Chain A
Amino acid sequence: MDRESGHKGLQVKPEGLVTEIVEDIVMPSLGADMTEGILVEWLVKCGDPVKRGDIIAVIETQKGAIDMEVYHTGVISEILHQPIVTLPVGTVMARVKLTEHSDRSKVTQLDSVAVTQVETRTPLASPVVRKVAMEQKLDLTAVRGSGPQGAILLRDLPETTEEMRASTQASKQSSGATKKMRGAIASAMTKSKNEIPHFYQSLDIELGNAQEWLKKTNEYRSPDQHILLLALLLKAAAKALTKYPDLNGFYENNQFVHAEEIHIGNVISLRQGGLVVPAIHHVDKLSVDETMQAIRDISARGRNGHLRSSELTDATITITNMGERGTDTVFAVIYPPQVAIIGFGKIREKLQLVEGDLVNCDVMSVCLSADHRVIDGMLGAKFLNALSKQLQKPELL
């Protein structure tokens, strides 16, 4: 089928014709540096009903094992790859036949062409893709295009070009998940430091009130119900972010896009080396107890490798806190495309003059690393002072 008629078939749909909407489930990208993932296990089979958010597969990435979620509600109509197999990001792994109309309208806004992909249509594809497909006997209907009008470009094909083969081989040579994770951290941090004009502002925040409140709250709780300072720090940060939303979001395509939700990435260092940064969702809407619960949950899953894919990709800002083993100040590196990261130092004693008397205070240096393309120093200062103010009244958090 030529390009013209293919195009026509997409746009002109006779009224009343019932078309089944089938969505591709692809190997997700869990960070700009991820090029491939390993499908370890399917948790669903053909014909299973799924709803948005269900965990349908386990995939192994540079960041460890991830529980993969499905983004549509429907019935699994096809499983295209069997574990255990390494697949480039974007490879169609399975398909889901949609049952909910809301899904359809939502996706239509994003990519109207992808939604109307009907099974019988010959897909648009660039000349080189057609050549490769013919040589390698690829079925292009199984490939989802990222080009204009959904055209399949070379980059959409699984392991076809020599470049891609070379890069796959290179990544195979560096064996071991830890080494891979190191590589992922290296590329994300290099990108950050190369592209983001960082600036740093630090403020000593008094934590006397917060510690007092924690002591009182935890007094009658069993140890597994204790609230840790980190929960207060997260809550305080979320509240301050509500006031100063310009620190919460993404810098992409030369512009800042403010994020509606507040999902705070929390750096967790792993015993075997390396780190993961899972997000705690909607911190602004959680109570302190719920926040603490979320911290416990995510730390446990982070360390034994059962983080959900969305948790690794949708943080809108990041915090890092090394607790008592940490340093006085942390000058952290922003995780792109976020625009800020907050480094919490360790609590230290400081002599301060209060109304003429020398008083021993517990303080913490809180250092904001911010992207100067988006944020200016005055905003950073206001944010840090708002954070400090929140922490003086822990009972209101």
Chain B
Amino acid sequence: MNAQTLTYREALRAGIEQALEDDERVFLMGEDVGRYGGCYAVSKGLFDYYGEQRIIDTPLCESGFVGVGIGAALGGLRPIVEVMTVNFSLLAMDQIVNSAATLRHMSGGQFNIPVVIRMACGAGRQLAAQHSHSWENFYAHIPGLKVLSPATHTDARHMLGQALEDPDPVIIFEHVMLLNENGEVSESPEADMESALVRRQGDDVTLITYGGCLHKALTAANKLAELNISAEVVDLRCLRPLDTDTFLGSVEKTHRAIIIDEGWKTCGLAGEISAIIMEQGFWFLDAPVKRLCTAEVPIPYPSHLEQAALPQVKQIVEMAQAIMEGR
């Protein structure tokens, strides 16, 4: 398979371009996505090529334009709605949770909502507490939604296409720290969008993670190899529905699990995964499940405090060493 090297941002743009090319019902809508090229420059250049009918700048009103997107999907179009960051999506939460997620159920299956909502997420760029949070777990909580977290460049390139094919609302989280990173992009998707993938094989401990923490987990796994600890890394990819078979299969092999999640620990995704392991994988465990999450504070602005709050490679390594020693 031919692979090309792109930045994560370019991979996202290539995904949008292909969607626009493949299906004339597809259009992109959001704050500053058109003339400005997107707050994170993901849609740069698309307005000039596709024009204002298909690349639509919206007013600063998340509830309004996400609602328009849902209506357009109801009406037969295939909207891609960009919400600048997950932090602002709270203003559109009623539309997403009360409308998009429920209408298929409430119409007795008569109406699907094939809308795709993209939003940036994550901390690390010193954007302070109102622009840096990880609320994937809010949306992963909601029946009726599908929630994707592309952590690799190939997933950034191809998950949008997979999401548009789905008849139900799909949320895609794009981690801001990945945008400038270069990486290889395969010509076709590595798996269907709902499958988790083992990104690195190992025997001793399973590191379960997604999104912005995948790279940290892989780096930690390499360091652990030098310490004779063989770590397996599972990339969840899809946060709702969770591909439990993949991480349970890994835990069955390694007997130990650490979940690395940029969200907060309390009521978060890491707790959910831990509970699934307890319910379905308990008899495979040789050590208590561990969680490494962001410190329970609003994300700080100063760089050193921001980094101190987030899960880091060193902590993953130390946690894996501890779990191997039975601590």
Contact = CB atoms under 8 A, between A and B. Distances in A.
Interface of A: 126-131, 146-148, 151, 153-154, 163
A147 B285 CA distance: 13
B283 A130 contact: yes
Contacts of A131: 283-284
22 contacts: A126-B255, A126-B285, A126-B286, A126-B287, A127-B282, A127-B283, A127-B286, A128-B283, A128-B284, A128-B285, A128-B286, A129-B286, A131-B284, A146-B326, A147-B287, A148-B326, A148-B327, A151-B326, A153-B286, A153-B287, A154-B286, A163-B203
B253 to A, nearest CB: 10
Interface in B255-284: 255, 282-284
Give the top 7 A-B pairs by smallest Cβ distance, nearest first.
A147-B326, A131-B283, A126-B286, A154-B286, A127-B285, A128-B286, A127-B283
Contacts of A153: 286-287, 326
Nearest to B283: A131
A244 B284 CA distance: 50
Interface string B183-210: 0000000000000000000010000000
B55 to A, nearest CB: 54
Contacts of A154: 255, 286
A157 B292 CA distance: 29
Nearest to A162: B253
Interface of B: 203, 255, 282-287, 326-327
A153 B284 CA distance: 11
B232 to A, nearest CB: 14
B122 to A, nearest CB: 33
Contacts of B327: 148
Nearest to B203: A163
A6 to B, nearest CB: 15
Main secondary structure of the interface of B (DSSP, over half): loop
Nearest to A191: B228
A128 B203 contact: no
B73 to A, nearest CB: 45
A73 B185 CA distance: 68
A160 to B, nearest CB: 11
Contact of B255 (A128, A130, A146): A128
Candidate in B203, B284, B286, B326 with the most chain A CB atoms within 10 angstroms: B286
A131 B282 CA distance: 10
A146 B284 CA distance: 18
A127 B326 contact: no
B228 to A, nearest CB: 10
B225 to A, nearest CB: 13
A167 to B, nearest CB: 12
A129 B285 CA distance: 8
A225 B282 CA distance: 67
Contacts of A148: 326-327
Contacts of B283: 127-128, 130-131
Residue from the set A126, A147, A148, A151 with the largest chain B CB neighbour count within 10 Å: A126
Nearest to B327: A148
A124 B283 CA distance: 14
A130 B283 CA distance: 8
A154 B327 CA distance: 14
Given A127-B283, A127-B285, A131-B283, 12 more contacts: A126-B286, A126-B287, A127-B282, A127-B286, A128-B283, A129-B286, A130-B283, A146-B326, A148-B327, A153-B286, A153-B326, A154-B286
A385 to B, nearest CB: 37
A129 B326 CA distance: 14
Contacts of A163: 203
Nearest to B278: A127
Nearest to A131: B283
A170 to B, nearest CB: 15
A380 B241 CA distance: 63
A19 B327 CA distance: 29
A127 B203 contact: no
Contacts of B284: 127-128, 131
Contacts of B255: 126, 128, 154
Nearest to A130: B283
A148 B134 CA distance: 34
A104 to B, nearest CB: 24
B267 to A, nearest CB: 25
Contacts of B285: 126-128
Nearest to B287: A126
A146 B286 CA distance: 12
B116 to A, nearest CB: 41
A163 B284 CA distance: 15
A131 B285 CA distance: 10
A330 to B, nearest CB: 29
Interface centre among B203, B284, B287 (most CB of A within 10 A): B287
Contacts of A146: 326
Contacts of B286: 126-129, 153-154
Contacts of A128: 255, 283-286
Contacts of B326: 146-148, 151, 153
Nearest to B255: A128
Nearest to A132: B283
Nearest to A151: B326
A228 B282 CA distance: 63
A125 to B, nearest CB: 10
A148 B322 CA distance: 11
A151 B327 CA distance: 11
A126 B282 CA distance: 9
Contacts of B287: 126, 147, 153
Contacts of A127: 282-286
A148 B286 CA distance: 11
B279 to A, nearest CB: 12
Contacts of B282: 127
A193 to B, nearest CB: 15
B295 to A, nearest CB: 25
A128 B326 CA distance: 14
A130 B284 CA distance: 10
A380 B326 CA distance: 38
A163 B255 CA distance: 13
B278 to A, nearest CB: 9
Nearest to A147: B326
Contacts of A126: 255, 285-287
Contacts of A147: 287, 326
